[in-house]
Amino acid sequence: MDDPTIVCPNCKTEIKLTESLVAPLLEAERPKIAAEECRKAKLASAAELGDKTREIAELQGVLKQREEKLGEAQQAQAEVLRKQRELDDAKREVELTVEKRVQEGLGTVRDSARKEAEDRYKLKVSEKEQTITAMQRQIEALKRKAEQGSQQLQGEVQELELEALLAGRFPQDIIQPVPKGEHGGDILHRVFGPQGQLCGTILWETKRTRNWSDGWLVKLREDQRTAKAEVAVILSHALPAGVETFDLIDHVWVAHPRVAIPIAVTLRQSLLELATARQASEGQQTKMEMVYEYLTGPPFRQRVQAIVEAFSTMQEDLYSEKKAITKQWAKREEQIDRVMHATVGMWGDLEGIAGKTLQEIDGLELKALGAADSTVDIP
């Protein structure tokens, strides 16, 4: 291998660098070279370190920017999430409000529909109840008419039987039915004596009911006075308490239909005997005797009895009105006492609160007691 050569800068000659020549030079230049290389290495290291420092600073700046951008992005994302959450909450609130309003509307509609249905149902029920009530009234009226018709038919049958029975038993008498709708009982039995003279009249009334009524006696006595009959008889299957077959109650004979003929025979015989006695005494009576006979006879007794019954009825009505008015007075007096008590108590409460500033009211102040109290010395 050839030795390297170098050119001298001054003389431009080539100089071969032999090992012997180069070695001392290298040894002399080695520290310089090492120092130069060290300096270059330091410069390179410093430059590289500066570059790395700049790169690191740049990277840190970029990282900081990225962190700032990341923070902004995170903040923006958090804001977006918050807004999204607010939007979700608002949406849920709107949905809830809408649902509430829908439910309220449905509730109102349901209540209105239910109320309307209830009103319609109540109206229908009321109409049904009115229809049922009207039908019940019609049924009851028909029942009453049927019962009345049945009772009336049975009564008419019983009247016809009694009329036929009396006519067959007493052919010389006149058995006359009272026309329907007229006062005077059911049958007028005019009793005639052997010479054909009228001896008296028996008024017959027939009843075919389940229960006895004392009002029948009053009505028959009025019919007796209207018909001017001497004797009145009620034939009824239902008898008053304590009566088994017949009895005289309030001047009216009450008997069971099975003893009608015995009663008729007895009463008819009494009328015949009375007429015979009256006929035997004719022409022998003075005016006093006639007056006495009138006063002691059935017509006068019936007239007086009618007057007494009228007065008794008027007296009972008077007692009833008196009781009702007394009761009404007591009720009103109690109401007035309660009102006065409440008014005095309220005035006392107000006077206890307001003191003497309230003006006095006549009737609510005890002036005499107050004057007496004012004279008492207080120790």
Distance CA 239, CA 261 (A): 17
DSSP category for residue 356: G
Are 246 and 237 in contact by the 8 Å Cβ rule? The answer is no
pLDDT at 57: 81
Question: DSSP readout, 25-65?
Answer: HHHHHHHHHHHHHHHHHHHHHHHHHHHHHHHHHHHHHHHHH
For residue 73, pLDDT beyond 50: yes
Region 129-140 average pLDDT: 80
pLDDT at 316: 77
For residue 363, pLDDT beyond 70: no
Question: DSSP readout, 262-326?
Answer: HHHHHHHHHHHHHHHHHHHTTTS--HHHHHHHHHHSHHHHHHHHHHHHHHHHHHHHHHHHHHHHH
For residue 309, give both structure tokens: 């019954």
pLDDT at 152: 55
Query: Per-residue pLDDT tens for 310-340?
Result: 656 776 777 788 888 888 888 888 888 887 7
DSSP category for residue 158: H
pLDDT at 14: 66
Region 86-106 average pLDDT: 78
For residue 104, pLDDT beyond 80: no
pLDDT at 191: 92
For residue 368, pLDDT beyond 60: no
Q: Which residue has the higher pLDDT, 288 or 377?
A: 288
- Mean pLDDT computed over every residue of the chain: 76
Q: Which residue has the higher pLDDT, 367 or 159?
A: 159
Distance CA 91, CA 1 (A): 94
In the structure, what pLDDT confidence band is assigned to residue 306 with cuts at 50, 70 and 90? low
Region 289-308 average pLDDT: 62
pLDDT at 369: 42
Distance CA 97, CA 90 (A): 10
Give domain 151-280's CATH number out of 3.30.70, 1.10.10, 3.40.50, 3.40.1350.
Answer: 3.40.1350
pLDDT at 371: 42
In the structure, what pLDDT confidence band is assigned to residue 190 with cuts at 50, 70 and 90? very high
Which residues in 223-262 are b (16+ Cβ under 10 Å) and which e?
bbbebebbbbbbbbeebeeeeeebeeeeebbbbbbeebee
Region 341-363 average pLDDT: 70
Q: Which amino acid is at 146?
A: A
Q: Which amino acid is at 230?
A: E
Query: Per-residue pLDDT tens for 275-291?
Result: 887 776 665 555 556 65
Query: Per-residue pLDDT tens for 233-265?
Result: 999 888 988 888 888 888 888 988 888 888 888
Distance CA 257, CA 340 (A): 66
Query: Per-residue pLDDT tens for 16-57?
Result: 666 666 677 667 777 777 777 788 777 877 777 777 788 888
In the structure, what pLDDT confidence band is assigned to residue 372 with cuts at 50, 70 and 90? very low
Q: Where are the domains of the chain?
A: 151-280
Nearest to 191 by CA among 255, 246, 297, 264: 264
> Could you give the residue ranges of the DSSP H alpha helices within the chain?
19-169, 215-227, 260-280, 287-296, 298-354, 367-374
For residue 153, pLDDT beyond 60: no
Distance CA 141, CA 146 (A): 8
Region 114-130 average pLDDT: 77
Angle at 218 between CA 213 and CA 222, to 5 degrees: 140
Distance between the two ends of the chain, CA-based, in angstroms?
A: 159
Q: Which residue has the higher pLDDT, 14 or 95?
A: 95
Distance CA 81, CA 84 (A): 5
User: Which percentage of the chain shows pLDDT scores above 70?
Assistant: 73
